[in-house]
Structures are given as C-alpha cells and as structure tokens.
Amino acid sequence: MIYTVTFNPAIDYVVRMDRFNKGEVNRTQSEEIQFGGKGINVSTVLTNLGVKSCALGFLAGFTGKAIEDGLKKIGVETDFIHLGNGMTRINVKLKADCESEINGQGPEISQQALDQLFEKLDCLKPGDILVLAGSIPKSLPSDIYEKIMQRMEGREIMVVVDATKDLLCNVLKYKPFLIKPNHIELGEIFGRTLANDDEIRECAQQLQQRGARNVLVSMAGDGAILLDENGEFHKIQAPKGKVKNSVGAGDSMVAGFLTGYLESKDYGMALKMGTATGSATAFADGLATREEAMALLQTLC
C-alpha cells in the first residue's frame, strides 16, 4: 500500500484572463477548482494510473471537507485528521499576461493532532510505501520529516521524500528509498548552478553517498536522470509537447515512477513511466490520466 502525507493541503482556485489590470475590477474568462498539496497530487495521479493509495494529512473547516469529499468522489482513499479550529487554506492562482499566486497560511496543527498522525503511521506494514512531499507549516517542528523517518527505521517501509534543501538533506541518514530534487534544487543544496549532466550526476552521487538509495533528478524539458541503488546511471529525454501547466508535474513523476517500479521492479522502466506521467501533466490542464501517460510512454526509447 502507498501512503502519502500532505501537511498543508489547499484548494487551488485557478482563474484565467487575458490581462490583469492592477487596481481595477477584473473579469475572469474561466475558473476552476483543484485540490492542491504535493502528497494529494501524488495520490490523485496514482488513482488515475490504477494504483491504490491512501492520502493522509490534516484538514480543517468547510474547505477541508470540500477537499475530502472531492478526493473521495474521484476514488482517492483518504484518512485525514480533522482539526477543530481554522480552515484548510485557499490558494489563488492567477493566469493572465503574467502568472501570480496568493497562497493561504493554513490552520495551526497541535501536538495532539500530530500524535494522531504518528499513530496512523505506526500502523504501516513492511513493504508499504510512504511519500513525504512538500513544505512544512510553521506550526510544526522543522525536523518533522526526520521524526517520521526515525519512527520508520528498521520497519522495511520504503520512504519517498520530495523536498528541498535541509528538509531533504537531513533525512538522508535514514536511507530513503527515493528522493526527487529537480536540477535547480539539487544545485541549491551545493550552492552551485549545475551546467551539464556530469555536474548533475556528481551532485546526485553525493546525495546517494549520504544515504539515498535512488536519486531521481528532473530537468524539465531536458528529461531526467536517475542514479539507482544498483549503481546504474540512467538518462531519458523528455517527450515532445506543449507545456500548459507545470504545477503537479513533479508529483506526477513520483506517482509514475512508483507505478512503473511496482509493475516491473525495473528502475529503467520506472524512470520511463515517471517521465511520461510527469510530462502528461505538464502537457494537460489537469493531472495526468493513465491514457495520457501511456500514450507518451510509447514515444520514449
């Protein structure tokens, strides 16, 4: 079973218009609601790909209920903790002549609520996969990923971490199954701008030496690089297509990678499926479907 954790979910309110005029009344051309949060995105795409998962995390208020109801409607299994105060945040995504975002803060998460999450995680079984993705709300300790992975240690649970900088580096000692920085985030870890594949590979190897079993580096239109735990180096070019929306593409890559790995136990195939699924989201208005991902998979060598 795959479990995802989203500490600070959101309703993304996406509005589109030709031009945004500051200080004036603006009219939208179209509007849509999306359920945001990196872990939620992973669970949604896994469901689209036909892989069962369970979305964990914290929800509050009427917005939290809307997320839970919406996810259940599309077939995502959920086991959220409902907070007594506050409300799950709303993020406004403005797409006009330039793109802008207004992101909410989200509710306070108490120690009691966090303990409830720990109790749920204590029920995971050997062979389960746990996906930790995204930033940490201010109300939680900055080492929450470390605390979770420490509880997972020695239990044969495969942990995937999609985070940045210290949040990622500090968990490497617990030997996560997979980490997925993009090439810019990878460079930031080492205070460098990575200019070519050799430099990306060098930095990825350093993270692997610190404990990561598999290092997947996404490179947008340039494809992706994978250093697997067997010592193999893989590189794949991205499929051709017009990018419509990059939001959720990295989360889709994680979902596709896990799907490919579970179906084949082959890291090369996992990389192909991850790349196809991430690209399928980038080329669409919403998150990738299995049909879209499989169509792109057929184009990859």
Q: Which domains does the chain have, with CATH numbers?
A: 1-19+30-106 (3.40.1190.30)
Indicate if 251 belongs to the active site. Answer: yes
* pLDDT (0 to 100) of residue 301: 66
Evaluated on CA atoms 174, 8, 142, 112, the torsion sign reads: negative
Neighbours of 283 (CB within 10 A): 18
Mean pLDDT of the chain: 93
- Pull the structure tokens for residue 298: 């057929």
Q: How far apart are CA 64 and CA 67, in angstroms?
A: 5
- pLDDT recorded at residue 68: 96
Mean pLDDT of 253-276: 96
Element (H, E) at 82: strand 81-83
Rg value, the chain, Cα: 19
| Nearest CA among 94, 48, 49, 67 for reference residue 6 | 67
- What whole-number percentage of the chain has pLDDT above 90? 77
The pLDDT tens digits for 190-222 are: 998 888 889 999 999 999 999 999 999 998 888
| Cβ neighbours, 10 Å, residue 47 | 20
Catalytic residue of the set 128, 251, 266, 285: 251
pLDDT at residue 138 tops 90: no
Residue 188: pLDDT over 70: yes
Instruction: Give the other-Cβ count within 10 Å of 198's Cβ.
Output: 9
DSSP classification of residue 182:
B
